[in-house]
Amino acid sequence: MSFDPARGRGRGGRGGGDRGGRGGGDRGGRGGGDRGGRGGGDRGGRGSGDRGGRGGGYDGGRGGGYDGGSRGTYGSRGGGRGGGRGGPVSIFRDPNYPAEAPDTKVAKMEDDYHKSSSGISALDKMSLNQRFPTRPGYGENGRKIQLYANYFALNTSPSFALARYPVTISPSMDDKKKKREQLFNLILELPEFANIPLATDYASMIITPNKFPFKEEREFSIPWRNEGEDDPKSNAQIYKVRIGSPTSYTIPDLVQSLGKISAANVSEVQREEAIQAMNTVMGFFAKSQKGTVSIANNRHFSTAQEGNWHNFTTLNYGLEAIRGFYQSVRPATGRLLLNVNVTHSVFLERGPLNVFFQRLGDAHSVVDKIKRKRVEVTHLAVKKSKSGIIIPREKTIWDLARPSDGRTEEHPPQIARYGAGPKDVKFWISVEQSSTKAKIPPKSGSKQGSSKPTSTLNKYITVYDYFKSKYPNVVLNPKFPVVNVGNDVNPSYLPVEVCIIKPGQIVKKALLGDQTRMMLDFANRRPEPNAMSIVTSGKQVLGLNTKDNPLLSKFGVQVGNSLITVQGRVLSPPVINYKNRQHRPSTKTPMDGSWNMRDTRFHTCGDLGNWTYMVVESDKRGAKWNHDGAAQTVEQFRAHLEGAGIGVRGWMGRPAPTPKHIDGNETATSADIERVFRLMSTSSNLKKPKFLLCILPVDDVMLYNTIKRFGDTRAGIHTVCVQHSKFAKGDPQYFGNVALKFNLKAGGINQTIDKLGIINEGKTMVVGIDVTHPSPGSKETAPSVAAMVTSTDRLLGQWSGICRLQGQARQEPVSELEPMFIKQLDIWQRKNKALPENILIYRDGVSEGQYNILLEQELPKIRNACRQKYPADYTKKSLPRISIIVCGKRHHTRFYPKDTDSADSKSNCPAGTVVDRGVTESRNWDFFLQPHQSLMGTARPCHYFVIQDEIFKSQKVKAPHTTADSLEELTHNMCHLFGRATKAVSLCPPAYYADLLCTRMRAYLADQYDPPTGRTTPVPGNPSTPSTNVGQGRINIHQDITESMFWI
């Protein structure tokens, strides 16, 4: 399980956060926050993560918002290790090297480009052969500051070149990662490669600075031998390894092309392959170390605990978290850089397997953690190499013992039940007629071996009796299950007492709530300790010093001594517009990215129409609340809404019927909630409410999801969930948070700003697009869902949303984009009496490798939708103009203040920091923006990359400002318009709203995305019953609320 990035519980502290609290993080905010904070830390805070995971699972989990805890999207609690409130500002200082100014050569290249970019002719721009728009210069707005970036400079000799040799193996080992890695080690030991510097990705290639002595393709026959063995066995498998013809890359040519303004002499394919080769070289050291575990080629974790305890923490229930390091070679203006960041993942806790079961208890709760995990067996005699090195005896756990194991054998095992213990697992033991020794057949034996014939031969024997006879020193607990270290066809059983879990085995299952909190406390650290880890432990684990890694010198690579420094700028915040109590204009100026609504009303107030409240009772958990007390608090809340300007005259005078939350019985709870919603929406004796305030007894994700599903898709009733323990206090700040949501759902506008550039003209529709995918633990039938939100006017205060199931699960390009776009254009046209001349799209959730796919698959669908909607006079004017900006959150770039003048009170970069130099490429138009203040951890800026532009290039900008300023300032200002917060948010609102809409879809499909633990495991011995495909009808919104901001 990876912890980059994750979303879990995002509650904020008191005042911010969906459930309140001063400082909940990105969306916190005194007097109105939303869910803690998106960026409230390097990994968010309690709830930073990537959408998903039931109950605070690694990939997400429920976030506690004031809406009862819709999944914690980008949350931040405000207290973890290294984060938290208060405390002195701490600034990173490299203990070995003094701070340096930004590289002057790079700065000159950037300045030369900046001066020349406006003068590049159309012909020159065409010759650049750019896939994406060229950078229109660099931004100039804002106060300039210097920052550290988590990058090292990579320097190479002028003649530095790499040769990449493709490697193919027969028979294939694609599905056997560990075995393939060992075979590559055997390849590197071939005498033909002696004294040649080599690096490999352990998958498909070998890299060397010197070509091999043979010119043609070469095939080698390599007999298999296990790690540590001196010689192959007589019957060892022979692998045919073919080394193909090399491809050469001259890295200085690549670096030179990165500093040119005009066309480069390195093709895009050559560039990507050369960088891949460099990544292989830089990652080889960590991947080749026995005490290091590598994940996905670029994330490396040291499993050595001695002297390294600060990089470990227990998560209980048999899991541990390890802090490791991510690295990636990145192209930048005039140079190559090595991006290094701290990263965290969840692993199976090392140690005896019987202790593991003893702590966790129920075998069914353990099995998913240990399947396919490696163990070292301890009951066999120690085996050593000729040099005296112990050769570990390792096995891989297939599963617990199943009644269906070995069904094709003549004498199949006899298993009492799934997860049976050693006294309830029998296997057949037989005698070979020509031998006086008994042998446990490998197909069903517990362990191959020999002994003198006994009376137990030629019949079934239990694992317990076999080990009692064969290994009397091993004491077995009959209650612990037996593990199968063979497979379901050829089982081989071992008791857990002879198995030790190997360290460094990643776990991809969702975490429990407490585990998520512990993980976030461990992961959230301020910039200074993270940067210090990179230049100390990171350099050691990754082998960035030639002392630790002499191979770098042999390849001719030198890594910079310390982190590079770059120039950043701090943009001024926009003025926020509200109304005062006399309904006159009132303004607020953000400080550190936040403001408060004291003595103000919303900019435009909505009317709730018919509304009431519903108290959900619990049979076990949560505080009991009598209805008189509830009525009094609701009356206080009604007065608060009225004071904020929201129309509340439709109060229905009495509460809705009371459903019961039956702890542990989802079916009964769902049925009772459905009964109440059906009664409210169909009864002839009751008016259907437009709004329903739902007071929940406990923080329960299933309860929340059920209410949202019935309210949004069945009844067409706006629901706002609050937790009883918080709502009953009558805190005005908490009421203010909840009021933000009520007003948006009612069609109101919470706040506006004046500085919106081209959007102020009222001719630009802003669009946000995102796609959510199944996460670890989801059912196989779980679909991917695409969400789109569009602005409805020039104020960007109200948005309309639409969702569609994707054609295939895990498909990123939006399959139904054309009809979705047509519908949203219809809404804009109806509300604005015209079609938009500009369409500005913020696309979320796309990796760098998928940028081209958006242009090839999504942009044509958008243009087709426009052709169907726009009349000829528009198209003759080349309207609409379309710009697409990709918003990247899952990157590893971080910036650290270089001095106190460039730091906020939490030791992070100040709110409003933008960086478009130093770590970017001159020709690509991209920038990093951190509009918010992170209340804990290390702030993560959002990366914006322009892949299509027809809007900004047509706008005239007065010097010294540039077109780059226009986009950076617009994006920054928009981050102050997230309607549920009185804080700037880290992700531009159109993308964030699309993200929230995806999250709401996950609530409707919670049975698919987050099935209860154990539901996805088939009954032992029986085939699993396939679920029916999920239909669009399950996420269709009721017509009464479909064009509202129901997802807020």
CATH of the domain at 444: 2.170.260.10
Burial of 224 (0-12, 13-18, 19+ CB in 10 A): middle
At 614-637, the pLDDT tens digits run 999 987 665 567 777 899 999 999
Q: Residue 86: what pLDDT?
A: 52
Q: Residue 622: what pLDDT?
A: 56
Alpha carbon distance, N-terminus to C-terminus of the chain: 29
Name all contacts of 540-544 with Cβ < 8 Å and 24+ positions apart.
Answer: 541/286, 541/292, 541/300, 541/301, 541/302, 541/324, 541/325, 542/282, 542/285, 542/286, 542/300, 542/325, 542/327, 542/340, 543/285, 543/286, 543/289, 544/152, 544/338, 544/340
In terms of Cα–Cα distance, which of 1044, 1035, 1040, 1043 is closest to 708? 1035
Regarding whether 774 and 666 lie in a shared domain, the answer is no
Residue 922 lies in a domain: yes
Residue 285: band (very low, low, confident or very high) from pLDDT cuts 50, 70, 90: very high
Regarding whether 700 and 791 lie in a shared domain, the answer is no
Q: Residue 493 is part of which domain span?
A: 351-501
| 379 residue type, one letter | H
pTM: 0.88
Residue 580 lies in a domain: no
Regarding whether 774 and 711 lie in a shared domain, the answer is no
DSSP three-state, residue 900: helix
Residue 981: pLDDT above 50? yes
In terms of Cα–Cα distance, which of 892, 903, 890, 888 is closest to 147? 903
* Higher pLDDT pick, 253 / 450: 253
Vertex 669: Cα angle to 663 and 671 (nearest 5): 160
Residue 764: pLDDT above 60? yes
Q: Residue 686: what pLDDT?
A: 76
Structurally, the chain folds into a number of domains equal to 3
Q: Residue 825: what pLDDT?
A: 98
Contact call for residues 979 and 797 (beta carbons, < 8 A): yes
Regarding whether 626 and 490 lie in a shared domain, the answer is no
Chosen domain end from 727, 745, 763: 745
Regarding whether 946 and 864 lie in a shared domain, the answer is yes
Chosen domain end from 485, 501, 517: 501
Regarding whether 769 and 713 lie in a shared domain, the answer is no
983: DSSP letter: B
Residue 112 lies in a domain: no
Hey, how many other C-beta atoms are within 10 angstroms of the C-beta on 1033?
8
Residue 823: band (very low, low, confident or very high) from pLDDT cuts 50, 70, 90: very high
Cα 452 to Cα 437: distance, rounded to the nearest angstrom? 6
Residue 642: band (very low, low, confident or very high) from pLDDT cuts 50, 70, 90: very high
The total number of residues shown for the chain amounts to 1048
Regarding whether 853 and 722 lie in a shared domain, the answer is no
Residue 40 lies in a domain: no
Cα 267 to Cα 258: distance, rounded to the nearest angstrom? 12
Residue 457: band (very low, low, confident or very high) from pLDDT cuts 50, 70, 90: low
Chosen domain end from 692, 710, 745: 745
Regarding whether 974 and 866 lie in a shared domain, the answer is yes
Residue 90 lies in a domain: no
Q: Tell me, letter by letter, the H, E, C secondary structure of 516-580.
A: HHHHHHHHCCCHHHHHHHHHHHHHHHHCCCCCCCCHHHHHCEEECCCCCEEEEEECCCCCEEEEE
